[in-house]
Structure formats: structure tokens, C-alpha cells
A and B are shown apart, each in its own frame.
Chain A
Amino acid sequence: MHPAPSVIAFTTLSGLGFGLLAWLGIDATPPTGWTAFAFFAIAFALSVGGLISSTFHLGRPERAWKAFSQWRTSWLSREGVCAVAALVVMGLYAAALVFAGAHFALLGWLGAALSLGTVYTTSMIYAQLKTIPRWNTPLTCVLYLAYAITGGALLSGRVEIALVLLLVSAGLQILWWMQGDGAFSGRGTTMETATGLGSIGTVRSAAPPHTAPNYLVREFIHIIGRKHAQKLRVISIALMAVLPILLLLLPFSHMAAAVAVVSHIAGVAVSRWLFFAEAEHTVGLYYGAR
């Protein structure tokens, strides 16, 4: 799949933002006043910024509001509905904390559930697609949720929890890669089933429909990106988990914590780039590629 920068930015940033909102929502002793303002400002900037960047890849962004209508069947629509609900509920919760110093715990828990619900609906947009076997697993949802919760813990300064979650996320990521590497061949979809010609023999693409590439080739067949995949996997784990863990184990300093956060975000972004670049769509088979 073509790794579109707007989609990578969206899933990375909004996941982090909603993860932070979830932690702020379930906090029994949440910050109030200006401290609360700072935390919520960061959380809203990340989640709303991510959502806005996701509209950049639309062909008709001015009609984006229509996407709220099909929540009965469409995970993309559910994501929109869930995101708006989460932002409204957490907005009320935040306003009470910032301006009145009042803590409505129930509202916070509801907002936290909606925030994680948003991350889950995002992950289901990918996990539902049978056409991309690497994504088509419940583990994709677990991975997205783990990243959101880990990033949120890191951003909200929960050092002990973050240390554990960083290890868990790294483990899940490696597991997801290992499972993903065999997913396409495990599915049994081949050029032979794609063309129905398998009963005659083995199929080879002799000529594509046109000599120049088209939308399908550009969107779905991204082979160059996979060349350095193994190196990028190592870089991703190092930035996402290893470096932040080392920095958090040092005696606490704001500088080290800030570097840990930036490194984590960069690592997640690399992982998201690979998420798209390594994904193979069944349409590639018609072009003799994967």
C-alpha cells in the first residue's frame, strides 16, 4: 500500500492524543487549573490535529461531514462519530477541571471509553480488510490500542506504567510483524485463484493492461518501500521502546523525559510507515506483483 504521509501522521498523532485523553479521563486525582489546561491542550492538539490531517487525503474534503451517516455498517463512519463524541465529552470534562476545578469522574470514564473506542474504530478500518491479509487480524486492533495507551502513559508522566507498557508494545509489534510476514501466503490467494486459471497451469503476467502505471498500481503496489524493511523495523523498535526505556530509567529530568516522548513518537511513525509500505493488497496479483 502507498504510505500516504497524511494517513501516517493521522494514525500516529491522534492515537497518542486519544491515549492521553483516556489516561486523563480515568485519573482519580486529575490536574486542575493551568496544569490541566496544558495537558488537555496537548491532548486535543494531537487528536484534533490528527483528525484534520486525515481529511487531506480525501478527494472531496468539503463533503467530509457526510461520513457521519453510515455508522451502521462502516468502521470509517463509526470512527468519525466516536471521535466527535469523545472530543465533546472530554471537552466538558476538561472545562470543568480547568475553569471550575470540579472533577466529574463518571464523565471522565465515559470520555476515556469513547477515546479508546475511537482508536479501536480506527484500527478496525484496517483490520476488517480481507484484501490485505497482513492487516486482517484482531492483533491489529490490539497493537493500535497498545500504542495509544503506551503513548498516553508516557505523555501524562506515568513513568512506572509507561516502562511496562513500552515493553508490552514492543513485544506486540514484533508478534504482529512475525504473524504478518506469513499472512498473505497463509490465505491461499494466488494469481491462480485470482484468474481462475489454476486448473490449467501456473500463471504469469505477460502484459499489464497499459504500459504506464495507473491509480491501482500507485495506491496498492508499493514494492520499493519494502527494500529496507528489516532495518526500519529495528530502528522503529529502538526509537519507540528501547531509547525511551533507557531514558526513563535515568534519574528523572524534564529533558530526558521530553527526548523519550519525541523518540517514542518517531518510532511509532516509522512503524506506521512500515504498516502501509509492507502491506500487500490482492489486486497486486493481477499485475503479477504483491
Chain B
Amino acid sequence: MTSLPEKTEKKLGLVIDLDTCVGCHACVISCKGWNTENYGAPLSDQRPYGTDPMGTFLNRVHSYEVQPDSGQAQTVHFPKSCLHCEDAPCVTVCPTGASYKRSEDGIVLVNETDCIGCGLCAWACPYGARELDQAEGVMKKCTLCVDRIYNENLPEVDREPACVRTCPAGARHFGDFADPESNVSKLTAERGGMDLMPELGTKPVNKYLPPRPKDAWDGEEDILAPFLTPVAEEPSGFLGWLDKQLSRLPGDGKTDS
């Protein structure tokens, strides 16, 4: 049924730390690897080695440049997967009941044998968290690795989402937001975890931790600094000659006159 549960017992989700994410895309690959072999239809690729390649991913990493009013711009790597919203618009629009939110833990899933691939849920999701698989014709989305987190066949350390387990920077954290003492609730409280597009009223469960303020150079120079000034401002001798010759080659802006 595509009515949303009034309340879910647990609120499982992720905290994503934009301060520590280094943009390595390891979570993208581990997510694709795990989910193409497990829950539901594989995540297909189209023309993977040809021109115009395309494929289904449940987690993608964007990179942004943020320019403050003054000072240096900052690069922020930004992983994005389903936020398992409490008021998930993707669920209520589904005509077949294929999309649902679990009342026990709040995970939003697609029952692929009921999905007709109409795509309306992807239209309703503000975040681009759902992708229609081009080979299977059904909707794919992050399952919060539901087939890992409860899986007693896996060693206990592996009973967390593949992306969390893999992240080399420790930028992804998994836990229960309904429990105020959980790791994710504490992290969110300490670091000011935020919602994406809060104005749309989807009430995302996943939270993003903002990047910490960057260091700025505003202190005194070291007393030894004057002794570190370069010996020669312009290269002379053989190096100077080499510099001139190299600068003459096409493709380099002339620096000498």
C-alpha cells in the first residue's frame, strides 16, 4: 500500500559528512557492486565501453565549488543517495503499490515485481534518488542495504551498508535516528546536521554535516621567515637560459620580454 506509515519504530538512515568526504567515489563503486549482485534486478549499464555510456547508480558523488563573500573558494564533494524521507512523495504517487515505506524501520523500497516503470516516483523525488533501469524497465533506488544490515550470514562488522563499510575517509555513518543516543543522532546534534531542500517538506531522514570552517592565514609571520626569502627572484645562468628557451615553445604564455 502506498499510504505512508503514521510513524516508524526505527528511523534508519545515513549521516554524510561533507567535511571528511574526499570525493574518491569508492561508495559509488561498492554500492553498485553490492546491489548489482543482490537485492532485485542488477544495475545495468548501456554501452559501457562505447560512446555515450550510461548506467544505473543508487549513489552518485557530485563536486561543488562554494565561494564565500570574501576569501578562498572551497571544494565540497557531495555524495547523494536516497534520503529515506519521512514524508516521501515518491511513495504516495505510485499507482501500483510497488513503492513503500516500511513501518518497522522507515526504509523506502520498491517491490520490483509490481513496478510498471511509469517513472512517476522519480518525477516526485526532489533529489534525483531514483533511476529507471534501462534494461529491466523497473525503478531502482538505494535500499539502505536492507540485505546486509539484517543479514546473519555476514560477519557482524559487515552488517552495515556497503557504502558505509567501504568509505576510506569515514564520511558515511549508519544508524537509527529515532534513538537520541545513537551515533548518528549524536553526530547530527554535535555538528549541526542539515536537511536538503527542507522547504519541500519531505522531512529527509539522512542528514548532511556541513564542512568545518577552513583555516585562514591571518596570524604573524614566523620570525625566521625573512631568512627564507628566495635567493634569486629570476633564474639566472643555465637555468635562466633554459627557462627562456622553454618559454619560447608554443603553448606557453611568454613571461619574459
Contacts and interface: CB of A to CB of B under 8 A. Distances in A.
Nearest to A196: B194
Contact of A212 (B52, B60, B98, B198): B52
B76 A197 contact: yes
Contacts of A215: 54, 56, 122, 131-132, 134
Contacts, number: 194
Contacts of A206: 63-65, 75
Contacts of B131: 214-216
B194 A210 contact: no
Contacts of B60: 209-210, 214
Interface stretch (B87-95, B177-185, B235-243, B245-253): B87-95
A67 B96 contact: yes
Nearest to A66: B96
Contacts of A193: 196-199
B126 interface: yes
Contacts of B80: 286
Contact of A76 (B1, B62, B89, B93): B93
B167 interface: no
A216 B123 CA distance: 9
Nearest to B127: A283
A95 B66 CA distance: 67
Interface in B7-43: 18, 28
Interface string B119-160: 110111111100111101111000000000000000000000
A22 to B, nearest CB: 24
B210 interface: yes
B61 interface: yes
A58 to B, nearest CB: 5
Interface of B: 1-3, 18, 28, 52-57, 60-69, 73-76, 78, 80, 89, 92-98, 114-120, 122-128, 131-134, 136-139, 194-201, 208, 210-211
Pairs A-B, 6 closest by C-beta atoms: A59-B117, A59-B137, A209-B60, A283-B128, A201-B68, A77-B95
